[in-house]
Chain A
Amino acid sequence: MSQMSSSPVIPVRTLLPWSAAVPVLLIVAYLVTMDSAGVLAQTGDLLHELMHDGRHLLGVPCH
Chain B
Amino acid sequence: MIRDFFLRGLGAGAVAGLLAGLFGFLVGEPSIDQAIAIEEAAAGVGHSHANELVSRGGQAFGLFLATTLYGLVVGGLFALAYAFVKGRFGPANEQALAVTLAAGGFLAVVLVPFLKYPGNPPAVGDPDTIGRRTVLYLVMLAIGLLALGAGAVIHRRFGWVAAVPAFLVIVGVAYAVLPAIQEVPAEFPAVLLWNFRVSSLGVQAVLWGVLGSVFALVSARQRVRL
Given A58-B203, A62-B120, CB of A15 within 8 Å of CB of B80: yes
- Interface class of chain A by DSSP: helix
B62 → A minimal CB distance (Å)? 4
B42 → A minimal CB distance (Å)? 14
B6 at the interface (CB under 8 A from A): yes
Contact indicator per residue, chain B 112-127, by CB within 8 Å of chain A (1) or not (0):
0110011111100101
Contact (Cβ within 8 A) A53 B88? no
CB contacts (< 8 Å) of B133 on chain A: these are 61
Partner of B119, one of A50, A52, A57: A57
Kindly count the residue-residue contacts between A and B in the assembled complex, taking CB atoms under 8 Å apart: 163
Within 8 A of A (CB), among B164-186: none
Contact (Cβ within 8 A) B70 A2? no
B14 at the interface (CB under 8 A from A): no
Contact (Cβ within 8 A) A10 B84? yes
Contact indicator per residue, chain B 88-114, by CB within 8 Å of chain A (1) or not (0):
100111100100000000000010011
Classify chain B: how many residues form its interface, as a range: 35 or more
CA distance A31 to B24 in the complex (A): 19
Contact (Cβ within 8 A) B29 A33? no
Contact (Cβ within 8 A) A10 B1? yes
B121 → A minimal CB distance (Å)? 6
Given A32-B70, A63-B125, CB of A56 within 8 Å of CB of B32: yes
Chain B residue, CB-CB nearest to A45? B53
Classify chain A: how many residues form its interface, as a range: 35 or more
Contact (Cβ within 8 A) B62 A52? yes
Contact (Cβ within 8 A) A25 B70? no
CA distance A15 to B60 in the complex (A): 38
8 closest A-B pairs by beta carbon, nearest first, are A54-B66, A59-B119, A51-B66, A9-B87, A4-B92, A50-B62, A49-B54, A7-B87
A residues near B (Cβ < 8 Å) are 1-4, 6-10, 12, 14-15, 18-19, 21-22, 25-26, 28-29, 31-34, 36, 44-46, 49-63
A and B contact pairs by CB, cutoff 8 A, 23 listed: A3-B92, A6-B92, A6-B93, A9-B88, A10-B2, A10-B83, A12-B84, A18-B83, A19-B80, A50-B61, A51-B65, A52-B62, A54-B64, A54-B67, A55-B66, A56-B32, A56-B119, A58-B70, A59-B118, A59-B201, A60-B119, A61-B133, A62-B119
